[in-house]
Amino acid sequence: MAIAISRRGNVEPFHAMDILAEANRLRAGGASVISMAVGQPSDPAPLVVREAARRALDDGRIGYTDSLGMRPLREAIARHYADHYDVQVSAERVAITTGSSAGFNLAFMAMFDPGDRIGIAVPGYPAYRNIMAALGLEVVEIRSSDAPYLTAEMIAQEHNRAPLKGILFASPANPTGASIPANELERVVNTARELGIAVISDEIYHRLNFAGTDNTALAFGDDITVINSFSKYYCMTGWRIGWMVLPEPLVRPIERIQQSLYISAPELSQIAAIEAFEATQELELVKSRYAANRELLGEGLPKLGFPLAAPMDGAFYAYCDVSRLTNDSMEFARRMLVEAGVAATPGRDFDPENGHRYMRFSYAGSTDEMREAIMRVSNWLNAR
């Protein structure tokens, strides 16, 4: 019998996950490995979140919810925008998703048709490119040496070459950690609006900004789609729970697609996530450790010959130029993992054209791990 495999399945692998799998394999064999490959907090979810989940399990019944999510969670998210950003968002415009990954799937399917041109900043999160490619969208990679983030001029210039249907950006960004200043973010949104380009703002690393305040694109209009998640700041990666804030006309299309594709986000995670906004004191302690790690890597990595490629404004990543040491970051990452016991992500994930010159290091682990990783890499490089 013939096996049917579509062209959609022929997307680039997520190399960070491949590195993580190899690191786990080495650990299972008894090797000591420090993982700086994936953006996963090493802390558990906040105590109030875990206690809410425990109570829900004791109650016994976990089932489907409305496709747009539980009303109390949608209201809690709406209150968060008022409290944290001083932006008014109706709970009716909030959709709960199975992590931000589902949010991107839903947004791309509800907003765009095959062949539409969607602009993304490069370097950028590989899942954007891979999901859009699988859906038949044309990915337009926008890069510039003038700024570490997407600018209004870059968008207009690309749109003049051939019309864009949408743009997608993250601030703070993965892999660089660079943030778009508020005045430039407003110019980006206004330029896109004037040109008839739909805007998706990935704000998953909000509340992890070390160089300034969080600026939501929603401050500049209600015609923007925002995607966020409880994974990063709230330390809830495995709970697979995220959200979208939608322009009103998109709410029903998103709901219809969610009904068929996911039914609803997990009820247990939704119940627990309601409490996450009450855990700021605990989570700020976690963030303070990231800040210490950021300082440690910001000083240590350049001394190893890994100069920073962008300012580490937020998130928990250092994106480094390793071209003085290698012209193949994929092979360099494999060797560093096996020989030094340190896992990091090759730049190929984030930039298909120039990624062979870059590596991304996550500093979401403990400070002791970061110190040990710097020492291991230093010893490894000296022994080469």
Tokens of 381: 């490089």
How much of the chain exceeds pLDDT 70, in percent? Answer: 100
Give me the mean pLDDT over the 299-326 stretch.
95
Q: What is the pLDDT of residues 244-293, one digit of tens each?
A: 999 999 999 999 999 999 999 999 999 999 999 999 999 999 999 999 99
Q: Which CATH class is domain 7-45+280-383?
A: alpha beta
Q: State how far the Cα of 237 lies from the Cα of 158, in Å rounded to an integer.
A: 34
Please choose, from the candidates 173, 315, 348, the residue with its C-alpha nearest in 3D space to the C-alpha of residue 231: 315
**pLDDT at residue 340 is higher than 90:** yes
- Numbered ranges of CATH 3.40.640.10 in the chain: 7-45+280-383, 47-278
Residue 358 has pLDDT above 90, yes or no: yes
Does 43 score more than 80 pLDDT? yes
Cα torsion at 214, 220, 224, 225 (round to 10°)? 20
Could you report the per-residue pLDDT of 162-216, keeping only the tens digit for each? 999 999 999 999 999 999 999 999 999 999 999 999 999 999 999 999 998 999 9
3-state secondary structure of 319: strand
Q: What is the mean pLDDT of residues 19-47?
A: 91
Mean pLDDT is lowest, of 13-17, 71-75, 279-283, for: 13-17
Task: Please give the CATH number for the structural domain made up of 47-278.
Answer: 3.40.640.10
What is the overall mean pLDDT for the chain?
A: 94
214 exposure class (CB count in 10 Å sphere: 0-12, 13-18, 19+): middle
Can you tell me the distance from the alpha carbon of 153 to that of 338, in angstroms, rounded to the nearest whole number?
Answer: 43
pLDDT at 19 over 90: no
**pLDDT (0 to 100) of residue 12:** 74
Lowest mean per-residue pLDDT among 7-16, 67-76, 343-352:
7-16
Whether this model's pTM surpasses 0.85: yes
Helix, strand or coil, per DSSP, at residue 43: coil
Q: What percent of the chain has pLDDT over 90?
A: 87
